[in-house]
Chains A and B, each alone.
Chain A
Amino acid sequence: MDRALVLFIVAIQLVVGSLCNVAGDNSTLESVPDLEKAMYFNAHGYPCVRLLNLSGEIGCSNPGQEKIVAPIFRQVNIDKLVVPSFAVLTPLEELENLLLRVSSDSKLAQKIAGVLVEATGLENRSLGFSPDEKFPQAEFAPYQNLSFEWNPRGSGIMWKRYNFPIFLLSNESTKVLQEMATQNEKNYKAYPSNVAEFDLVMQTTKSENHDSASCLKEQSCLPLGGYSVWSALPPIYAGEPPKSILLVMASMDSGSFFRDISFGADSSLSGLIALLAAVDAISHVSNLNELKKQLIFGVFTGEAWGYLGSKRFLLELDLGADSLKGLNSAMIEQVFEIGSVGKALNQGVTTFFTHSGQDTSSTNEILDALQKASESLGSDNVNIKKADATNPGVPPSSLMSFLRKNSSISGVVLEDFDTSFVNKFYHSHLDNNANINATSIAAAAIIVARALYVIASDAPLNLIVLNSIKVNVSLVDELVGCLLTCDPGLSCGIVNHFISPSSVCPNHYVRVFVDTPSETQRPQFADDTSRFVWNFLADRTSAPKKNSSPCKGECSSPSDVCVGAETESSRCVTSTTRYVPSYSTRLKFEANSWKILPANASDPSGLADPVWTESYWNTIGLKAYKVQSSTYDNFVLLAGISITAATYIATLVGKTYLLKALKHD
């Protein structure tokens, strides 16, 4: 017995010794939390959320109140599957086709538990991706031809309703989930299978509200909105005779299928950056008080969701609200909008197109000024052309709100396209800084700055001053980095000089109006971009001040505002810069809740207003892990019970046997 034992030990040692080269594990699990982290993969994804309007819902949500768990398969293989429900992993190129198939094929729609979109972007950028419609916000157009295709690449998928969650994955999560899908596909029916767990439970689904009216009443949603900003250059002083107003505007919001990743670089943050750079350029001109026209700069938010900013601006102007004190709507003679100006550079030549409303002498004044500005740049090759006469009217822009109100207003919108968008990524998450050219934006800024000087100044035109107006190209580059990228994003120098931002990645989805709309000039919930624009404009349009004291919000003089109140370098400046709340003109905040006002037949654009709201939600998450079949689980339970029972029986038998043996003695 001993010899056998010794041989056994030797044999084992030989075996163990031959295993000298044991492969090392990359990650060792050192605790139970480590094990749990290894078991459950928390995927990083950008969701598409549930939005509601007066007639129904759009967007995505879990169909019930629970998390959805389904095995992951790739989009190319879904037709071979026999499982009752599955999660689809699809490349971006196939997303539109998949969603259009789902809308038409109800059997497929029932089988799809969720959709995961790969992060790899588009292999071929010239294909484009635009989830918006072919004529975005056509219901607000001031003309009849609503089938004109301003956005020929549009698929319209962002305006449809999906009864399952859709997530856009980050780069690392894409790789992990692709591996999981491949593992699943090795054997379609067998376990263990890799599943994705979607948590996109929307409050409106829980409380069964399916339109804005009911969800606002039950307080399971909030209306979309934010804070627009307007500023006067030079500042308006009380008691001064009012001058004729030239309103220059741009928008600071955009849309996307995935609400958390929406840069809107070309449409229309390029216009915003051009406006800010133009303000910066003009502010260096001396004796602005001698201009014969008053320059007013307006930056609206919520334009992608029913022109919330511009319509509310016009409404408040009519109502004579406090936030618009100093502006006389009767004095607004000309309106000039800077639309998408980021893609005008084509083979070394920059060309902008002017789209205008009615042909009036004021409109022609703007167009002439633009030509003069272009000529003054000399050999720097910036062309200004009039848009094609066969266009039905102005493209989708804030100018539409003004024309709807008063079709004879003199309005011009400057764009980088003629008959249809050159932006193939209109209102998508790929409309980022790779989609624009900073040179194009700088060109727009200088053209606008010089044209504004031409319009606003008295005859004869001072060419020396005109030629001295130069745009700060490094400012344009810095603003592109701040507002259109995540690195440096909002942690860049110029933004931190004015505000302390709440996040690094800029997100230009308008979000919900959390506040109660009041006339306060220090709103608590204005988003980072609004606050930055307010501070920047207040700083650049301010009259030069000799001594400025640090402030925390209030300034002693009523015509002063506090710039940089959130930072260390705050100071009081004399400036006319105000916030204007931006929310639907059909909404009113009364008795602690939002009420929808009845439609007024005399206000056709109010009739067309969908009154967008976004559902409340608790947590949004995406996990992926392996599961066993329930048969296996039951088998393990059975094995455990049988081992326990067998041991019990064996112990009893053994005890009886031994006791009997003892009794024999």
Chain B
Amino acid sequence: MTVAAGVGYALIGLGPALSIFVSVISKKPFLVLTVLSSTMFWLVSLILLSAAWRALLPIKSTAFWPYAVLILTSVVFQEGIRFVFWKLYKKLEEILDLFADRTSKRRLFLTDKLQIALAGGLGHGVAHAVFFCLSLLTPAFGRATYFVERCSHMPFSLISAINSLGFFMIHTSSMVIAFNGYAQKKKSDQIFVPVIHVIASIMTLINLAPGGCVIGIPLLCLSAAGTLLYCWMLCLHKTSLLTPLYSGLPVTVSFEISSRARLKLP
């Protein structure tokens, strides 16, 4: 496949992460730190998961349900510690706000919080890409290509890169939605994130069927697009451009913004 293809696959899988990093994150050192620590946090979670499952792998069964159990337990664990991640962030937010008050600097804006959530999600997405895709890219730089028996339509590296891209989008968007859900105590957001994570992960089982990747990969791209759209609508919503989907919320939102703006005044 050669170096050109190897670089291409790496860009498909991790290029968007690089773009977001350069355009949004790199401008603020705090966000860079957030991304790094988030990546570390989620990598550790994946390592813990694989350590826990080590004894039972590789799964020698030909049925799909052991894989489903593996996926479900992993997703449940990750969603569980997402809440822990949120709690850590809350603690950090309190410290930052306290510090801001003491040095009479401004507190965290809505946009700041959205950016921090985005950075957290980016860290999660990058951790997923590094764990699941990066090492598989090394053979892609060599001369040979590889087609899996059950999916002879696309090279294996391409499937791997697209999967990585899909889950990157899902994780990045999910963190923004989840942070908002926990902050606003909105049930719909809190449920949406784990559900979409479970659905997207279980859908990858379709790839186990011969020729299943023709359905599985587009479905994954669809769910990634869906999550991205939900996230974008949420952001727009928070900046009160769209008509409210839920009653009562815009008042709270605009009150929050205006109260923050009022504090800005000397």
Binding site for B on A (CB under 8 A): 1-2, 5, 8-9, 12-13, 15-16, 19-20, 22-25, 28, 30, 32, 35-36, 38-40, 69, 192, 197, 625-628, 630, 632-641, 643-645, 647-648, 651-652, 654-655, 658-659, 661-662, 665
Q: How many whole Å from B26's CB to the nearest CB in chain A? A: 12
> Which A residue's beta carbon lies closest to that of B157?
A636
B138 adjacent to A644 (CB under 8 Å): no
Residues of A within 8 A of B195 (CB): 5, 9
* CA distance in complex: A12, B196 (Å): 12
Complex-state Cα separation, A612 to B159, whole angstroms: 55
Q: Give complex CA distance A14, B97 in Å.
A: 49
Contact present for A658 and B199 (CB under 8 Å) = no
B63 in contact with A659 (CB, 8 Å): no
**Does B209 contact A630, Cβ atoms closer than 8 Å?**
no
By the criterion CB–CB under 8 Å, are A643 and B209 in contact? no
Which residues of B have CB within 8 Å of A69? 143
Q: A16 and B202 in contact (CB under 8 A), knowing A643-B11, A643-B165, A658-B239?
A: yes
B83 cross-chain contacts in A, Cβ below 8 A: none
> B130 at interface (Cβ–Cβ under 8 A)?
no
Q: Is B213 an interface residue (CB 8 A)?
A: no
5 contacts between A and B (CB under 8 A): A23-B62, A30-B58, A628-B145, A633-B4, A636-B9
- Known A-B contacts A636-B5, A638-B8, A662-B239; A15 and B206 likewise in contact (beta carbons under 8 Å): yes
Contact B12 A636 (CB under 8 A): yes
**A15 neighbours in B (Cβ, 8 Å):** 206
CA distance A462 to B9 in the complex (A): 89
B7 within 8 A of A: yes
Task: Please choose the segment from B16-24, B45-53, B84-92, B100-108 that sits at the chain A interface, where 4 or more of its residues have CB less than 8 A away.
Answer: B16-24
Please tell me if the beta carbons of B58 and A12 are within 8 angstroms of each other in the complex.
no
- A8 CA / B196 CA spacing, docked (Å): 11
Q: Is B2 an interface residue (CB 8 A)?
A: yes
Q: Which residues of A sit under 8 angstroms from B206, Cβ to Cβ? A: 15-16, 19
Contacts of A658 on B, CB cut-off 8 Å?
A: 111, 114, 235-236, 239
Decide: B209 and A648 in contact? CB cutoff 8 A. Answer: no
- B20, A651: Cβ atoms under 8 Å? yes
* Residues from chain B with Cβ under 8 Å of A628 in the complex: 1, 5, 145, 155
A32–B5 touching, CB < 8 Å: no
> Is the CB–CB distance between A665 and B257 below 8 Å?
yes
- CB-CB under 8 A from A644, the residues of chain B are 11, 15-16, 18-19
B6-46 residues at the A interface, CB under 8 angstroms: 7-12, 15-16, 18-20, 22-24
On chain A, the residues within 8 Å of B145 by CB distance are 39, 192, 625-628
Is B244 positioned at the interface, with any CB of A under 8 Å from its CB? no
Q: B218 in the interface, Cβ–Cβ < 8 Å?
A: no
Q: Decide if A16 touches B64 in the complex (CB within 8 Å).
A: yes
Indicate which residue in A1, A640, A654 contacts B15 across the interface (CB closer than 8 Å): A640
* A22: chain B residues within 8 A (beta carbon): 62-64, 208-209
Instruction: Identify which of B61, B111, B136, B209 contacts A32 (C-beta below 8 A).
Output: B136
CA A637 to CA B210, docked complex, whole Å? 28
What is the minimal beta-carbon distance from A664 to any residue of chain B, in angstroms? 8
Q: Which single residue of chain B is at the shortest CB-CB distance from A655?
A: B24
B79-129 contacts to A, CB under 8 A, are 110-111, 114
- Give the chain A neighbours of B77 by CB distance below 8 A: none
Please measure, in the bound complex, the distance between the C-alpha atom of A635 and the C-alpha atom of B2, giving whole angstroms: 12
Q: Report whether B144 and A32 are in contact in the complex, using a CB–CB cutoff of 8 Å.
A: no
CB within 8 A of A647: which of B9, B19, B261? B19
Interface residues of B in 129-159 (CB under 8 A from A): 135-136, 138-139, 142-147, 149-150, 155-156, 158
* Residues B144 and A659 in contact, CB atoms below 8 Å apart: no
User: Which one, B8, B142, B236, contacts A640 given CB within 8 A?
Assistant: B8
Q: For residue A627, which residues in chain B have a CB less than 8 angstroms away from its CB? A: 1, 143-145
| A640 & B11 in contact (Cβ 8 Å cutoff) | yes
- Chain B neighbourhood of A24, CB < 8 A: 61-62
List of B residues within 8 angstroms of A662 by Cβ: 110-111, 239, 257
Please report the C-alpha to C-alpha distance between residue A661 and residue B240 in the assembled complex, in whole angstroms: 8
A647 touches B155 (CB 8 A): no
Q: Once bound together, how far apart are the Cα atoms of A640 and B1, in whole Å?
A: 15
Residue from the list A1, A625, A634 in contact with B4, Cβ < 8 A: A634
A631 to chain B, nearest CB (A): 10
A637 touching B155, Cβ below 8 Å? no
Q: Which residues of B contact A30 (CB under 8 A)?
A: 58
Given contacts A16-B206, A25-B149, A661-B239, 12 further A-B contacts (CB under 8 A): A22-B62, A23-B62, A30-B58, A35-B146, A192-B145, A627-B143, A628-B145, A635-B8, A636-B9, A639-B12, A641-B11, A655-B24
Which A residues touch B156, using CB under 8 A? Answer: 35
Chain B contacts with A in 244-264, Cβ cutoff 8 A:
254, 257-258, 261
Across the interface, do A39 and B139 meet the contact criterion of CB distance under 8 Å? Answer: yes
CA distance A655 to B26 in the complex (A): 14
The 6 closest A-B pairs by CB, nearest first: A640-B11, A644-B15, A24-B62, A636-B8, A625-B144, A637-B8
Query: For the complex, is B217 an interface residue (Cβ under 8 Å from A)?
Result: no
Report whether A665 and B240 are in contact in the complex, using a CB–CB cutoff of 8 Å. yes
Docked Cα-Cα span, A9 to B219, in Å, equals: 13
B132 nearest CB across to chain A (Å): 12
Let me know if B188 and A23 touch, CB within 8 A.
Answer: no
Pair B12/A640 contact, Cβ less than 8 Å: yes
